[in-house]
Amino acid sequence: MIKLLSFLLLVAAVQSDDLDKLLEEIFDPTSTTDTKSAQNQSETTYIENAPCKLSDGREGRCVPYYRCSSTGNGDLDGNLCSYYIDVCCPEDKTIPKPAKRETQQEGCGWSSPIGVDLPTQGVAQFGEFPWRVVFLKIESLNNEDPESPKISVYAGTGTLIHPSIVLVAAHLILTGKTWRIRAGEWDTQSAKETYPFQERDVASFETHPNYDKDRKLNDIALVFLAKPFDLAPNVQVACLPPKNFHQKDGSRCFGTGWGKELNNGFRRYTTLPKKVELPVIGHDKCKERLGSMSELDSSFMCAGENGTESCSNHGISGLSCPFELQTNRYVEVGITAKGDGCDEESTPVVFVNVSAVREWIDDKVSAKGYDSKTYTY
């Protein structure tokens, strides 16, 4: 509600001929001047588990839709719930909110397969992939007014590999901009999650020296933060594969991240992170499926399968594959480089092969005085 209210405050204040474009691009607008007042107002208007009445006259409670086991997830008719994902749920169908889970595994790459909160069908659970972070561009509503409120514009999704370091696709980075990283995010229009998100300013970038913008070769960059994140159940670091590592063809991996998806013929940003199962495809087979016009050198890897509409993967930032001998542990084998043929079925998603650039990552991390052991298993 805090985020949604801040969004509405800013929309009311915007004086622009390109409002539709702004609304499409804003991931989580926050005003430097309005945030505190928005929080105060939100605290007074939202009541957790507020009583409500269903359309058939029965009494119910306002709970998030995923905490209602009733057919259809509650009754929206005549629903007086104040929060946009809440539904009026019958008392006997309301699922209790679980206690916080404080236990954490040692080391990188540990997933919480049912999340650190209640499961939500069809998306990555809250805290399920706690290394996935949001890459935000900070802009003014009015570039000609230095006192203009600031907004956070979604730029992409990254991978936390150290409390102070994020791995992103190099094509996301624009020079001369102010950047921020958000970790522990889930619902982009809510601040009701069990654990809060954290934000850190970006101090510097390191882009791969052989990055080719046109051909998307070595499309990888390291983001160094001004202050490290505090590790928490919803904020953890990913494991990276060793140099020359080969993920087995057919491995059932997951692509996750926020981004646009088709919705009634329009492309809109999702408010919850997507989770798409993508089997790894061998290099030769991938090249064949992409066609003779597509260049695919050894720095790339692919995942996807026939029948998967590739636009559902738009906005995915990384490919997490499970460890063979350890349950609920993953290694980040790929960072999204390009998605050729977005509107065609069975087109693979192309990733930067992280193992191919592992040596460069280690060199840059060490040069900055950080320890590569955080993402080594």
In the block, residue with structure tokens 């298993």: 377
Nearest to 343 by CA among 309, 314, 313: 309
CA atoms within 13 A on the CB side of 96: 3
pLDDT tops 60 at residue 219: yes
What torsion, rounded to 10 degrees, do the Cα atoms 160, 163, 165, 168 define? 10
Q: What is the pLDDT of residues 241-287, one digit of tens each?
A: 999 899 999 999 988 887 666 555 555 666 778 788 889 999 888 88
Distance CA 98, CA 100 (A): 7
- In order of 134, 165, 263, 282, the CA distances from 316 in angstroms are 11, 19, 17, 20
Mean pLDDT of 28-40: 36
pLDDT grade for 101, boundaries at 50, 70 and 90: low
Angle CA(179)–CA(124)–CA(235) in degrees, nearest 5? Answer: 50
Looking at the chain, the domain(s) classified CATH 2.40.10.10 span: 252-355
Mean pLDDT of 213-220: 89
Nearest to 310 by CA among 286, 346, 352: 346
Highest averaged pLDDT of the listed ranges 65-79, 256-270, 306-320, 340-354: 340-354
Output the pLDDT for position 169: 92
According to DSSP, the residues that pair with 9 across neighbouring strands are none
3-state per-residue secondary structure call for 57-96: CCEEEEEEHHHECCCCCCECCCCCCCCCCEEEEEHHHECC
Q: What is the pLDDT of residues 121-170, one digit of tens each?
A: 556 777 889 999 999 998 888 878 878 888 888 888 899 999 999 999 99
**At how many degrees (to 10) do helices 2-13 and 35-45 cross?**
130
Which residues neighbour 159 within 8 Å (Cβ) at sequence distance 6 or greater?
131, 132, 133, 166, 167, 168, 238, 317, 318, 332, 335
pLDDT grade for 40, boundaries at 50, 70 and 90: very low
Q: What does the chain come to in residues?
A: 377
Nearest to 152 by CA among 137, 168, 140: 137
The yes/no answer on whether domain 252-355 falls in CATH 2.40.10.10 is: yes
In 10 A of CB 363, how many CB atoms? 12
Nearest to 182 by CA among 160, 204, 149: 160
- Name the least confident of 34-38, 93-97, 237-241, 366-370: 34-38
